Amino acid sequence: MAVKPTNNISLLAMPSAFKIITENNLDVFNIEGTGKGGRVTKGDVLLYLNLIKTNSNIKTNSSIIEKNISKRKDTIMDVLVPILGESVVEATVSKWIKKQGEFVEMDEPIVELETDKVTLEVSAAISGTLDSLVVSEGDTVEVGALLATIIAGEKSEKLSKIVVETSQVKKTNQTPKVENTSKQEVKSDPVSSSNRDNKNLEERVPMSRLRQVIARRLKEAQNTAAMLTTYNEVDMTALMEMRSSYQDSFEKKNGVRLGYMSFFVKAAIDALKEYPAVNAEIEGNEIIYKNYYNIGVAVGTSQGLVVPVLKSADLMSFGQTEMAIAEFGKKAKDGDISISDMAGGTFTISNGGVYGSLMSSPILNPPQSGILGMHKIQKRPVAIGNNIEIRPMMYLALSYDHRIIDGREAVSFLVRIKEIIEDPRRLVVGA
């Protein structure tokens, strides 16, 4: 057996394997690693422990180890929890897409994992039969943990027949029993509000990991930050006319429609440069001023609110901004937003107007210190000079952390955005 270049167990074994090795006082050099770079996986350790149980002289008979490990490397592939992203160390098994005994193709999704940020699918690295499922739905697993094993091989007619028959048996067993009521008179007793049992109409489901984290983070924001909200309204006339005038040529050139969000992103960046405290965050007793502009755009999904981030948004053109926003929208709809898409934001924009919200107070997205809330465009009578005119108006809201942002800065920041939106030419000339 090859000699390892170092005796540092933590370098030779995956974290989940390292824990079992330490608890059982095993010699890592006796365990052949089948993981990336030859590292010992949890599956390797479990196999080794199983060999010890079935072979009393396993510790002194290295040929048995090498024989079994060699066989394993050729025929069995471990399905492990992948790296989940920065600061994410565990996930919940939300759903097994494939069942034990089913044949899976290479790159076919096997299991769905849910973290506190995203839901992701783990795919098969080889084609074969999904063997032992080590964890169940609802279990919490760490990065590098063993989920299941795949026995390499080609799909056989016998296997397909067994899977189909098993499925049919399950369906047969689940067929509800129908009682013969032809000889009985069914009495229709209307349910009144007095005798209805409301508990039978309740449905109790566990909160998803994402929903739990959303709830915790929002409450932490309320408990930690000295959060205040300032409001203003903006006349959208000039922006709507500009958008209408250049919509066709913009779409032909960039392959995407010109929306309002890109203007608000650019206006926010302009205002952030003028009032840097809104782009800062608190860490301990220090304030970190960010001289870069990663703008998060809040997107609602069926699983909860996610905030993908436009990295270096100040360097992006209007076309690039709109394309990135459209791509995030598609990913959110398909459930494909990754952890890297949501990392590193410095300021967030939330548009409740797409759901018809006229006014709201957005909650901070920690550790950020400011969030801009856009709302529904609604025609209202407003005073223009000495005249009353009907104009398309939008309420804006800026929630901010009063610990580092003064009221004057917050109000001035929102007024600056109002000035740019009401006269978008300012973005061109820098006025």
Question: Tens of pLDDT along 161-172?
Answer: 554 454 454 445
- Give the per-residue pLDDT at 14: 74
Candidate from 23-32, 252-261, 286-295, 403-412 with smallest mean pLDDT: 23-32
Query: Among positive and negative, which fits the CA dihedral 385, 388, 393, 395?
Result: positive
Most confident of the ranges 16-25, 73-82, 124-133, 271-280: 271-280
Task: Give yes or no for a contact between 265 and 286, defined as CB atoms under 8 angstroms apart.
Answer: no
d(CA 18, CA 185): 68
- End-to-end C-alpha distance for the chain, whole angstroms: 72
Given a cut of 90, whether residue 267 has pLDDT beyond it is yes
E strand or H helix at 318: helix 318-334
- Give the per-residue pLDDT at 63: 54
- Give the per-residue pLDDT at 60: 46
Domain with CATH 3.30.559.10 in the chain: 216-429
The secondary structure of 137-201, three-state, reads: CCCEEECCCEEEEEEECCCCHHHHHHHHHHHHHHHHHCCCCCCCCCCCCCCCCCCCCCCCCHHHH
- pLDDT one-digit tens code per residue, 42-70: 777 777 776 666 555 554 445 555 555 55
This prediction has a pTM of 0.59
Query: Among 364, 343, 399, 295, which Cα is nearest to 116's?
Result: 343
Task: Give yes or no for a contact between 306 and 337, defined as CB atoms under 8 angstroms apart.
Answer: yes
- Give the per-residue pLDDT at 187: 52
Q: What is the mean pLDDT of residues 392-420?
A: 96
Q: Is 402 a catalytic residue?
A: yes
d(CA 106, CA 137): 22
Domain with CATH 2.40.50.100 in the chain: 81-165
Q: What is the mean pLDDT of residues 30-44?
A: 72
Beta strands in 268-417 (DSSP E): 280-283, 286-289, 295-297, 299-301, 304-306, 309-310, 347-351, 370-374, 378-384, 387-401
pLDDT tier, 359 (very low <50, low <70, confident <90, very high otherwise) = very high
Residue 233 pairs in a beta bridge with 395
Given a cut of 50, whether residue 355 has pLDDT beyond it is yes
Candidate from 173-187, 216-230, 313-327 with smallest mean pLDDT: 173-187
335: left (phi over 0), alpha (psi -120 to 50) or beta: left
User: Greater confidence, 296 or 141?
Assistant: 296
Q: Half-sphere exposure of 96 toward its Cβ, with a 13 Å CA cutoff?
A: 19
d(CA 287, CA 276): 11
Distances (CA, A) of 352 to 257, 355, 359: 20, 6, 8
- Give the per-residue pLDDT at 85: 63
E strand or H helix at 409: helix 407-422
- Give the per-residue pLDDT at 218: 72
Residue 213, both tokens: 């984290």
Catalytic residue among 74, 107, 406, 423: 406
- Give the per-residue pLDDT at 189: 55
Q: What is the mean pLDDT of residues 127-139?
A: 84
d(CA 59, CA 48): 10
High-pLDDT (> 90) share of the chain, %: 36
Given a cut of 50, whether residue 390 has pLDDT beyond it is yes
- pLDDT one-digit tens code per residue, 206-254: 776 666 766 777 777 777 788 999 999 999 999 999 999 999 999 999 9
Catalytic residue among 27, 248, 402, 423: 402
Query: Among 418, 266, 263, 296, which Cα is nearest to 368's?
Result: 296
Residue 37, both tokens: 């770079």
- Give the per-residue pLDDT at 81: 83
Given a cut of 70, whether residue 105 has pLDDT beyond it is yes
Residue 269, both tokens: 């960046």
Candidate from 69-78, 181-190, 314-323 with smallest mean pLDDT: 181-190
Q: Is 44 a catalytic residue?
A: no
Task: Give yes or no for a contact between 405 and 369, defined as CB atoms under 8 angstroms apart.
Answer: yes
81-165: CATH number = 2.40.50.100
216-429: CATH number = 3.30.559.10
- Give the per-residue pLDDT at 4: 40
pLDDT tier, 369 (very low <50, low <70, confident <90, very high otherwise) = very high
User: Greater confidence, 86 or 236?
Assistant: 236
SS3 state of residue 364: coil
User: Greater confidence, 305 or 406?
Assistant: 406
